[in-house]
A and B are shown apart, each in its own frame.
Chain A
């Protein structure tokens, strides 16, 4: 198995992804030559748009599967979750790379990107975000090295990485915990700008907590997609037992949210009929309470469709929450309007196409997913759905 050559099958779907990626590269080059104004719809009122709001904030949150699985598998040693551990690490690593790329595209004076390593603006939340993301991406590359050197034989390096693995794993949980929360702290500065239903001194807690409970849901979605794409049996028992973690964390999230709103005396704003309040109610009812109930009812939880639908709600819900913080909650106070340009969408699409291609290449060439014999016994035919 390991002596096998590199392989990458080309399908029409993959050609489409490659085209999107090349289009994005061209648009990105244009942006570097002619500036942000030439490509984006950003303005002084809306300095942060799609790339920061979606690719960075959501990308990092969606990559939360990495650190929550690492905590469950490698710190708490719940071995039954091992089958999904490597896939979670991989998608997390790719998600972080996307976020770094989008950050790099978005900064105006990009050749200065390394400056914060040397001029310590430690009173800035962005400083913490920058350091943690850079360090954690490095750590994930090293963690991935362990897998990489299984195929590319280099025993000395693999051994060295083996020694480093425990501290790397611990740092690989501490750093993302810190910066998932500080992505929320970024908005503490927006007091009197961000709508009070979202602005809170404990917004860092909401961000890190939701990134954590998003993890198992994200792993469920990724696992289901991978099993359909490759005609494998989805790891349903693993998905199901993870729902308990997500459900209880979401219940705590909801309770803390309610206490926080009451404590700040803005609970009534959730029902004042404004656009913000309606978006907030959708966020709470459709994307928090509904999945909690779906996870709580065995008849839904134990079916593949049930666990996948509920997980999808959780994932979309976290994206919805981040979008509310970046756009909905800011709209009233900053005025003006922002809708991403076609070029912004193209670059975003290209980056996520790259992510999909990289994932496909890596799982087909490295040992990421569990071997078939672990799931083969009850194999039924999936994977006729679509042809990646």
Chain B
């Protein structure tokens, strides 16, 4: 039921037609870019750039390897942004897309607090910093194309080399396993299968993921495999008990220690300060 895209790093040639089709399908403005010493342009995701291809040059002995990585929202199985939002502005649809309701469904509840941006482990959501009433923006897995028109996401349609494959998540996992078993060049890891509870976008690669900008290890420890909402919930679920329990304890203490109370008259104790003193 839940749709997914398998990204095969070995097949990507860095042509960026996915970026172009994303901009044109979603009517996103171009961003002014600067000359730089690499092929990444504009280089990062933002409110106006929902997918981006980064390039990596890896040295192996005296050989150079070029690898290109398409990035976009990972569409987590249990998204941190959804759990962080206090107005339900993000939702994980049953089709697999994580969408932003204010612009997608015209349900304009977002207050622009940007807690979703703190929460996202992949640093995906972008904010319209230049707007007076800004929205949060990110890849929406072409929810309109896939749901209403039965099409593939624009980037998948545009991909010339078969680096992107769209389908059911379990089928994509099976396809990934199949490719990995047939070709020993692949690293034995499907990125997105387990990271942060799993994502809808899955990656396979022939070079180690940490060398092409993936978050595999943080502070010398492997990234968390539990979903972020489950971590928060472990703490939040105590709230009602603390509310009632602490309230009851305070009431009891107040009643117990009240014996000496009300002997003083507060109006005699305090007075305004004379500023002229």
> CB distance A76 to B257 under 8 Å?
yes
What is the 8 Å Cβ interface bit string for chain A, positions 115-128, against chain B (1 contact, 0 not)? 11001111111111
Q: Which of A36, A74, A188, A189 has the most CB of B within 10 A?
A: A189
Whether A190 pairs with B117 at a CB distance below 8 angstroms is: no
Complex CA gap A82/B125 in Å reads: 50
Residue A37 is within 8 A (CB to CB) of chain B in the complex: yes
Taking CB atoms, residues of chain B closer than 8 Å to A360 are: 275
Q: A367, B258: Cβ atoms under 8 Å?
A: no
By a CB distance below 8 angstroms, the chain B residues around A170 are 247, 250-251, 254
Segment of B10-18, B171-179, B227-235 engaged in the interface with chain A: B227-235
A226 CB contacts on chain B under 8 angstroms: 273
Q: Is the CB of A38 within 8 A of B236?
A: no
A-chain residues with CB within 8 Å of residue B46 when the two chains form the complex: 44
A74, A116, A174: which contacts B247 (Cβ < 8 A)?
A174
- A-chain residues with CB within 8 Å of residue B239 when the two chains form the complex: 128, 178, 182
Q: Is B242 an interface residue (CB 8 A)?
A: yes
B235, B270, B275: which contacts A188 (Cβ < 8 A)? B235
Chain A residues near B114 (CB-CB < 8 A):
47-48, 108
Interface string of A55-66 (1 = CB under 8 A from B): 000000000000
Nearest chain B CB to A301 CB, angstrom units: 26
Residue in chain A with minimal CB distance to B108: A112
Contact A108 B271 (CB under 8 A): no
Is A244 engaged at the interface, CB distance under 8 Å to the other chain? Answer: no
A128 touches B236 (CB 8 A): yes
- CB pair A112–B87 under 8 Å, yes or no, is yes
Judge whether B269 and A83 touch: CB under 8 Å.
yes
In the complex, B130 has a CB within 8 A of chain A: yes
Give which listed residue, B85, B125, B268, contacts A124 with CB less than 8 A.
B85
Contacts of B219 in A (CB 8 A): 192, 195-196, 269
> By CB atoms of chain B within 10 A, which of A107, A116, A126 has the most?
A126
Q: How far is the CA of A32 from the CA of B133 in the complex (A)?
A: 8
Q: Please report the C-alpha to C-alpha distance between residue A62 and residue B219 in the assembled complex, in whole angstroms.
A: 31
Q: A171-B247, A190-B119, A369-B271 are in contact. Are A32 and B111 (CB under 8 A)?
A: no
**B199 CB, min distance to chain A CBs, angstroms:** 14
Given A42-B129, A177-B246, A192-B224, are A185 and B271 also a contact pair (CB < 8 Å)? Answer: no
A112 and B85 contacting across the interface, CB-CB below 8 Å:
no
Which residues of chain A are within 8 angstroms of B264 by Cβ–Cβ distance?
Answer: 79, 82
A44 touching B126, Cβ below 8 Å:
yes
Q: Once the chains bind, are A334 and B123 in contact (CB under 8 Å)? A: yes
B113-130 residues with Cβ-Cβ distance < 8 A to A are: 113-115, 117-119, 121, 123, 125-130
Complex CA distance for A379 and B206, rounded to whole angstroms: 80
Query: B243-277: contact bitstring with A at CB < 8 Å (1 yes, 0 no)?
Result: 10011001101100111110010111111111111
| Nearest chain A CB to B61 CB, angstrom units | 30
Q: Are A201 and B270 in contact (CB under 8 A)?
A: no
Contacts of A372 in B (CB 8 A): 271
Docked Cα-Cα span, A110 to B112, in Å, equals 7
* List of B residues within 8 angstroms of A74 by Cβ: 254
Size of the A side of the interface (Cβ < 8 Å), in residues, is 91
Asked if B109 is an interface residue, CB under 8 A from chain A, the answer is yes
For B247, the chain A residues whose CB sits under 8 A away are 170-171, 174
Q: Is the CB of A123 within 8 A of B272?
A: no
Cβ contact within 8 Å between B236 and A108: no
Cα separation A8 to B117 with both chains bound (whole Å): 45
- Cβ of A234 < 8 Å from any Cβ of B? no
Most buried by A among B85, B87, B246: B87
Q: In the bound complex, do residue B115 and residue A108 qualify as a contact, i.e. CB atoms below 8 Å apart? A: no
- Interchain CB contact under 8 A, B236 and A363: no
> Closest CB of chain A to B27's CB: distance in Å?
20
Contact A109 B129 (CB under 8 A): no
The reply to whether B229 and A123 form a contact with Cβ atoms under 8 Å apart is yes
Q: How far is the CB of A28 from chain B (nearest CB, A)?
A: 13
A75 to B246, alpha carbons, bound, how many Å?
12
B86 within 8 A of A: yes
> Known: A37-B129, A75-B250. Is A364-B83 also a contact (CB below 8 A)?
no
Cα distance A151–B88 when bound, in Å?
45
Sampled A-B contacts (16; CB under 8 Å): A1-B272, A35-B133, A44-B44, A77-B259, A82-B269, A107-B112, A112-B87, A112-B111, A116-B87, A119-B87, A119-B88, A125-B232, A126-B115, A171-B247, A174-B243, A188-B235
Q: B residues engaging A (CB < 8 A)?
A: 44-47, 80, 83-88, 108-115, 117-119, 121, 123, 125-135, 215, 218-219, 221, 223-224, 228-229, 231-236, 239, 242-243, 246-247, 250-251, 253-254, 257-261, 264, 266-277
**Given A47-B127, A108-B110, A191-B121, 17 new contacts (CB under 8 A):** A7-B275, A34-B132, A37-B129, A77-B254, A83-B269, A111-B133, A123-B229, A125-B236, A151-B272, A170-B250, A174-B243, A177-B242, A185-B236, A363-B273, A366-B272, A367-B266, A367-B272
